Structure 1
């Protein structure tokens, strides 16, 4: 029997019921939520291994909930959507989702996607932490605290290195300026947008050929910063 707990988030109780039955038959423990706000509350209190997350929901929709979850967790997220434009957002606008399934969906296909994501997560968990991160020509040696670009060493301050390491270690995940400040400065975020922005600009000046059109550190307007997968 599986011991994984799956969080199913959908405002349609009939859809939650169907997914719940199929997951339970596969041996999973299932927790349900009717909106993104409740899902975030459950994430604070429960140990969850995967989330099935609907896009269109009241209070807090799936895309906003996914972005919020990604601030603190790399848990696999499979998103459900009945609208093509939402699927475009999921796949093209850095929500951090690992997979999506369009409605109406086959429960058996959804079960296959769930198992595939859990297998992938288990493989990642068994791997040793990365000590060298390679992003195209950019190489970040965490142990040596060294950054090179096309073999040329780049001199970064400790804070700049910490920001770059954070983004590169979570490629595809968007970090708000407040979250970067909390993770790097180890302090509660206050009026930090400008502080982080200045450091991001300095890093870009050092690693980007065209800092105004960055190849590595991307700005997601209104959300934060990321290094793409």
Structure 2
């Protein structure tokens, strides 16, 4: 009788291994269906990054092709939102116009230093641009233009790294996901509070009457 491979994982993801006739091809049930390597000496190694992505919403981060395709969408959206022409941004970055156009089109690949220089010139959040490429959301970079939310998050991450140090390795993926979910839910609620206040202000009839033009 052949025994199923032993499971090795860095986190405490609650998964249940169901019987399957082929070793190395088990079925996982529950909230997540983690990726795993081929068994070596009867051991399956779960990939924690893939576990986290699938545990949350089943959407893995973009690959290199996806990031390259997203880059021009992000750069053009930011430049246009700032009301800048290509020639203006190129001059501010110290680049020939054709070189800038090559960069903005994404044909030159992802140049991190140049992306951050672009962010300085356009008063954008360079880290939001980089994250937008990974998560496949040009809108994220636009939403972070003025509040620099991605930079703020990375500063908080830097503080966490300094404070927790080696203890970070002791955290299991499920706990990390739950804590981040709560934090982002709180931020979402905070953003909606502002939206509700704005909508209330715009529909306030007393305000409208007070500033109505005279008959």
* TM, length-normalised to structure 2: 0.26
More helix per residue: 2
More strand per residue: 1
Please tell me whether Structure 1 or Structure 2 has the larger radius of gyration of its CA atoms: 2
